[in-house]
Each structure stands twice: as structure tokens, then as C-alpha cells.
Chain A
Amino acid sequence: ETGVTQSPTHLIKTRGQQVTLRCSSQSGHNTVSWYQQALGQGPQFIFQYYREEENGRGNFPPRFSGLQFPNYSSELNVNALELDDSALYLCASSLRGDSNQPQHFGDGTRLSIL
């Protein structure tokens, strides 16, 4: 069973730039959720994708966008980067329709904005 993998592990960008983060879901999972975790804080839900469509969104501006592909992998795109976007970005996969099952997390991408 292949777990959730995220790339890259670390990234440094400057204000105003754009970034794309990638996630491969665990085999058998069809739903991907993205979270932002600032230092010392809990994960904040960004959005969730199921069957290539956004299935729910947290309190994040439109410059945070995403995609899900037919193989259930996913991308998170952030435009016009701001200093406050510096955080650990976590991807988690799960099987939609079964709320008894936990989220399976990757190790995250550490994004630093200079």
C-alpha cells in the first residue's frame, strides 16, 4: 500500500510569486484535502477535492486554488504569495462516503516566503 506523498518537501519563494504543490493520494483513496499549518498551530482546512471537483472550502481567498486528476492526485496552487503564506502545507487522502475512516497525511511541504 503506497502512502500519501507530497512534493517538494521544502520551497522558498518571494512575495508576489506563484507556487504549485503536489500530492499523490494513498492507493484506493478518492478524496484529497489540503491544510495549512502555521508554526505552533493546528491544521487549517483549505479545500477538499472529490472526483476532480472542489467539495468544500475553508476560509481562504481565491488565490488558493486546486486541481484533482483522474488518478486522484492533486495540486495546490497559490498566486500572489504573501509573507503570511509561510507555513507547512499538508495533503491528506481518504475514502469519501466513509466518515469512520481517518485522513492519511503526507509529511507536508514547508513553504517559506521571503
Chain B
Amino acid sequence: GDSVTQMEGPVTLSEEAFLTINCTYTATGYPSLFWYVQYPGEGLQLLLKATKADDKGSNKGFEATYRKETTSFHLEKGSVQVSDSAVYFCALSDRGSYIPTFGRGTSLIVHP
């Protein structure tokens, strides 16, 4: 079945540092890939998405590229801010199934 594996957290960075959160996936078909963000006490919000190989999703300075050859969708940001502190979830939605699969989440803590 489909699965998503994320790097374990927490990831702790200083403000303006470079961020990478790794995500790899296993899917039977050709999935769409997503990153969601969850701030304390809230539900998940879509951060970015990519629907086919080599697509790059981007939003609010975050980027991720759909790499079919390595089955990866790593999240990056060049300069993090304290306000980026949250939990980040990688997810996929396979065209053969309408039920999305989420990773376990990676907590990001950014210090001033």
C-alpha cells in the first residue's frame, strides 16, 4: 500500500537558517504530493502541492520538487522565521485511491 516517510523531529534552527525536511513515498500509481502545515491548536493547512514528476510546488518561500526517480518530495526554505515554527506533514493522494496518506509529521522550532 501507499506510505509516506518523513524525517523525525524536532528540527531546531536559528532564524534565517536554511531548512530541509525530507519526505519519501511509496505508491502504486502516480500520486499527487502535498505538504501541509499545522500551527498549535489548529487544523492542517495546505502549504504547497505538485501533481506530476518534476513539478515544483512553492508558497510563502517554501519549495518542494516532485522527484519520481528518487520517490521524494523534500521541503526546503532558504531563510526560516520564528513564525514558521509548526508541524509539517507530507502527504500523497494516489489516483487509484481517493484516500490520502499522511506522514507522521516533523516539528520545526525556529529560535530568534
Contacts and interface: CB of A to CB of B under 8 A. Distances in A.
Interface string A18-52: 00000000000001010000000111010010100
Interface of B: 31-32, 34, 36, 41-46, 49, 51, 89, 91, 93-95, 97-105
Contact of A41 (B49, B91, B99, B105): B105
B74 to A, nearest CB: 17
Contacts, number: 64
Interface of A: 4, 31, 33, 41-43, 45, 48, 50, 55-56, 90, 92, 94, 96-97, 99-100, 102-108
Nearest to B98: A96
Given A43-B44, A97-B98, A102-B49, 5 more contacts: A48-B98, A55-B99, A100-B93, A105-B45, A107-B42
A105 B44 contact: yes
Contacts of A102: 34, 36, 46, 49, 93
Residue of B44, B45, B101, B103 with most partner-chain A CB within 10 A: B44
Contact of B98 (A43, A56, A106, A107): A56
